[in-house]
Amino acid sequence: NAGVTQTPKFRVLKTGQSMTLLCAQDMNHEYMYWYRQDPGMGLRLIHYSVGEGTTAKGEVPDGYNVSRLKKQNFLLGLESAAPSQTSVYFCASSPLGLAGVFGPGTRLTVT
């Protein structure tokens, strides 16, 4: 039981490049979330999913897209990276009404 895993752990992008962050969970959780964490800002919700094939916008969705084609995977895409997207990205999953389980994070730098 690996819990929540994130790929990659670190990435450096140039402005305008695109990339996809992968989140995988093996706990059969329905809900999955993508957060970003910035100094002094706490964790802010980017997008979330309440089940396979569903996605919805969170607090700071601009510049990101997501997909949940399989229940265990939640992908976060950056179409055209900007320096403002330099952050640490966390994925989380949870069953209905219970504790959230977080991945180890992806540290992204956009130059």
Partner 1 sequence: KQEVTQIPAALSVPEGENLVLNCSFTDSAIYNLQWFRQDPGKGLTSLLLIQSSQREQTSGRLNASLDKSSGRSTLYIAASQPGDSATYLCAVRGTQGAQKLVFGQGTRLTINP
Q: Where along the sequence are the contacts to partner 1 (CB under 8 A)?
A: 31, 33, 35, 40-45, 48-50, 56, 58, 90, 92, 94, 96-105
Q: 6 or 85: whose CB is closer to partner 1?
A: 6
Q: 9 or 79: whose CB is closer to partner 1?
A: 9
Distance between CA 51 and CA 30 in Å, rounded?
5
Per the rule left: phi > 0, alpha: psi between -120 and 50, beta: everything else, 6 is beta
Q: 41 or 82: whose CB is closer to partner 1?
A: 41
- Taking the complex as a whole, the smallest distance from the CB of residue 16 to partner 1 amounts, in Å, to 28
Taking the CA atoms of residue 5, residue 3, residue 105 and residue 40 in that order, the dihedral angle to the nearest 10 degrees is 160
